[in-house]
Chains A and B, each alone.
Chain A
Amino acid sequence: MTDLIIILTLTALGYFAGSWAEKRHYLSIREREKQLLHLPAITMKDVPYPGEAVRSIHLAAGSAVISIDYFKRLLAGLRNIFGGTIVSYESLLDRARREALLRMKESAPEAAIIVNVRIETSAIGKYSSKRNIGCIEALAYGTAIELVQR
């Protein structure tokens, strides 16, 4: 009886705390995306500027680790039985990647463009063993190009 109550309490806690954290995070992400829209990130390797215009380049990287909450884990476990899209996990991945991209852009404030951006995702944390669903780590890196000031 007591473990049933514990499960229900954790689930409720996960749902309320998790949704609140998610909303806040998405607001912050959207806000910063608007601010950093002037700095494009592309996957192309070609540097679209002639050699003389380039002042310096450096590797820019940003990463984020988003953890899963109990409610989402429960939902994902249920989905594993029935199959289909694990909706509770999508927002986790989305947030982690967008956050990683934003941090990469923030690490190169003077850049004009970031080229050859690559994004890596992996599961880490205590629950990342085979049987359980873990926390998400997203890493975004690319070459930031700073131009000579006109």
Chain B
Amino acid sequence: MELFLPIAHMDVNIVLILLYGGLVGFLSGLVGVGGGFLITPLLIFTGIPPIVAVSSGAAQMAGTASGASHLHWRYGNIDFRMGTVLLAGSWVGGALGVYLAKILVRLGQFSNVVVFLYVVLLGFIGVSMLIESLRAIVRARSAVDAAGAAGVPNGTGAPKSTLRAWVARLPWQTSFPASGVHMSVVVPLVLGAFVGAMTSLMGVGGGFIMVPMMIYLLKIPTKIVVGTSLFQLLFTTAAVSVMQAGVNHAVDPVLVVLLILGSVVGTKLGAQLGTRLPGEKLRLILALVVVAVAVKMVVTLVVPPGEIYDMTVELR
């Protein structure tokens, strides 16, 4: 069953695209990531031009995140105050990222920087989460660490204490009751800006950066992180989708609708499973996916390519 995509200007297998959407939706509902780091490479691998893959991926994430956000809102998993601050930061960071991307493109180093960012960030975050979640699962099973029942790892080293003390001295200390934390607005604002910059550079929603940062740095319970991350993701990807359509004419509506139809089923399954699974297991699943993508990218970088030349054609 083939369908012609008017903007990508090629025919695709409907079932394959629905499956991609389902897979990404499942991850989205389960662990609160948009799946941009997964959907973009999958679409490019299918032969869809990279700019269409990135742009349509953003639009699909906006659609999926709206549904998933609604579900998490009903489950009471969104901290709107935290989400709004993160969003404000991510918009500022996103604008700075666009400017940085422009400079890198001019220097001819954009794609190399993006690939290394993917490998370093995904590798670091994935491995850190993997180790921590495995430890948490072992702890939960042996029931030794009763204090860690909140599902948030406790830092014990001197550097982390120093950092916490420094963070506590920052201005504009605010309470975020839904997340159960009290901290300076500057922290989520800077985190949002960092994620926003990465979004512009890497063409992803930023959930795979945001989720671990909120869990480990801001010490917010995993379930609130998932809902709040989706809330922030919804508005970030919506803005990217509008800009990509406006500037590059690269959002393919047929592709996006197919991906969303697939992702709706996946999102519901993911969200239902997510409410039943403990936080450390959710983190383990996200960690495994992130590590798998990082390993795949390292392999791509190290294994000699069959064809060293690559061709992209102008869309018409």
Asked whether A and B interact, the reply is no
Which residues of B are at the interface with A, using a C-beta cutoff of 8 A?
none
Which residues of A are at the interface with B, using a C-beta cutoff of 8 A?
none
